[in-house]
Structure 1
């Protein structure tokens, strides 16, 4: 038998068992279709509320880890203040919808059609082609709060320019264009039915509302009942601003009763819009929140109050409750903010609006819980897949048998895909139980 065996070609020898590294690689390659299916489950039962993802800090987790956190919270709507490519790439395939922003400093340049087209080509189009879900572009933020008249005059022309550029790219109707306003834009906010914009802003707002009405874009307003309480805690009941049981306040003109300040502010904005002849523009609260900490002259800034405000707000939003003026229309809300941002200027409260600390631990009980995965540079599984990929490449070059080369070729492709998914922390692999996430 020994002599007969020595006379046979080497290829008839029994195949050696596959190395454990190859088995690991095959496992991940076969796991991909399952992950493709389960990935969509995260959005199916998503919360209605959105969150602002600010990044004025030097200690925040990577966007890949933030993607884990938000989806574990069942958040499917995120508002950015820029169009950070790292964030948009990290959320590819997650189903999360983004509002991206053009900063105030870039607004005047966007009046130029060429500049608007270039901005979209650089900051938006590549991500949309890759599968990112961007539903809105904000051109500037709270531009009517200051005294920069040149900036204020440029906002609407810049929005129109960006809108036309979107149309030229075939994205008109898919991506809205608007801007976010501070509540300071209101000249009168109580009673809600008497809501009116500040006279200085009227020349800009009349054509602006016409643009929103024509393009079906929302009016974004940043509302913070905390500011009203902080300025006059003796006269503003804490229960009224925290959505807690209280007698409420009646509008003397309509008889509508308001049991919380946020809804009164939203209805005041609706009244101001209607006073300018528009009834078809939706109001969305683009920022609202409560600080968990403040300076000595910032009363009420405590974790307990912040938790109460967010929990009670969340309950109303998830119940799809409308305002007294529009009870059948749920209020769109983006909570401010996801993290405490340690580099924000201003009083202490500005750095303490986050739901989470940068390490992923909750600042207070917000009524919604999330998970920030551990920080790993490159997981063992990723190392094994890369090693298997390199081995497959070596065998493919060395082997002289066509069937063997074909099998190894397919395996090489599978390990290449698995390695890419693992090393880039693609959303396809972020739902697997091993939680393979880069630093």
Structure 2
């Protein structure tokens, strides 16, 4: 059966590195029309948090790597939470803060050293403000924190990260927050298209592969990657931490050397993945734990640096039309007023307040307010 809406289980990454995206108010309509209720941001954009007030959409907000140094300072952490998080919490469901993104992908050792203290300081601040039951603290890792990812049963973290990850895993166990991974089977396929079977990475029917140590059969790469992370965590003495996928996706376009970046493949990857999420599938090693996944990304982002693929991960074009068919159709309200006319609307609004004694004033006011919502 074709899915008309994406459904409540799937999360979406809402990146904004672009100059042509619809306003957050319009995006909130699009996401609600798709029935998406979980959104991940890379910042704590107040415009987005306000636009989603009273909508029941759950947010993960982000502190970029550039904040880590400051967030090791309790006073700066408290200021940030009191200014950027607390004012929105009464009306917008913020459930998680990611402190840093793919920190160990950088080779900035100062950043590596600051990550755990920043996470701890942000968490302690939430405790002091009585918000720690409402908002959890974590960070998102790239998959290259693993030195071994296959077979999944021998998944292991890079040795140079051992001391850092040891502390981070203890933190997760203590505060009961999830371990987040950005995982892209697309990269494995692009790097070795002659070795990695396309159907295996796209969740299409294929022979699959067996883990010789557990005899578990894997019919797709993403689930093998998730179980490899569980094994790496277990090898460091933890079985009490949940792994979630903070990003995964597939580009619909790429440069000549970016093999497999097509709308057909992107549609298969995301469409097949959505079905597995809907069926609440678990991985072979954790069959009873439904996969928890945020798809990357909501829109194509035209100002992202790097190869062409980086600007083509979106499920939607900025005008709200799907980039490819995954059986869902959202509704993006038409743009009636551009932001340039907002000031005129404000002036008109003041003029109408002057007219408020007349019924005409009220009806014009209502009309304007209805229109402004979509600006």
**Distance in 2 (alpha carbons) for counterparts of 1:86 and 1:333:** 25
**Structure with more of its chain in helix, by fraction:** 1
Structure 2: where are the runs of 5+ without partners?
A: none
Question: CA distance change for structure 1 residues 419 and 371 in 2, over 3 Å: closer, same or farther?
Answer: closer
Indicate the residue corresponding to 2:62 in structure 1: 101
Aligned-residue RMSD, C-alpha: 2.4
Distance 1:90 1:60 in 2: 14
Is the 8 Å Cα contact of residues 310 and 367 (structure 1) preserved in structure 2?
Answer: no
Question: Which residue is equivalent to 1:110?
Answer: 71
CA spacing shift, 1:416–1:373, aligned 2, 3 Å: closer
Q: Which residue does the alignment assign to 1:177?
A: 137
Do the aligned partners of 2:71 and 2:122 also contact (CA within 8 Å) in 1? yes
Secondary structure in structure 2 of the residue aligned to 1:228: helix
Residue 355 of structure 2: aligned partner: 391
The correspondence of residues 3-152 of structure 1 with structure 2, limited to 5 A, is 46-129=7-90, 131-152=91-112
Shift of 1:65: 0.7
Using the size of structure 1 for normalisation, the TM-score is: 0.79
Does structure 1 residue 230 correspond to structure 2 residue 194? no
SS at structure 1 position matched to 2:270: helix
- In 1, the alpha carbon distance for the partners of 2:138 and 2:369 equals 35
Q: For 2:241, which of 235, 260, 281 is the aligned residue?
A: 281
The Cα of 1:291 is off from its aligned counterpart by 0.4
TM-score normalised by length of structure 2: 0.92
Return the offset for 1:219: 0.3
| Partners of 1:386 and 1:415 within 8 A in 2 | no
Within 1, Cα distance between the matches of 2:96 and 2:116? 15
Task: Give the number of aligned pairs.
Answer: 365
Contact 2:6 2:36 in 1 (8 A): no
| CA 90–194 in structure 1, closer or farther in 2 if over 3 Å, else same | same
Q: Alignment partner for residue 170 of structure 2, among 210, 216, 228?
A: 210
Larger Rg: 1
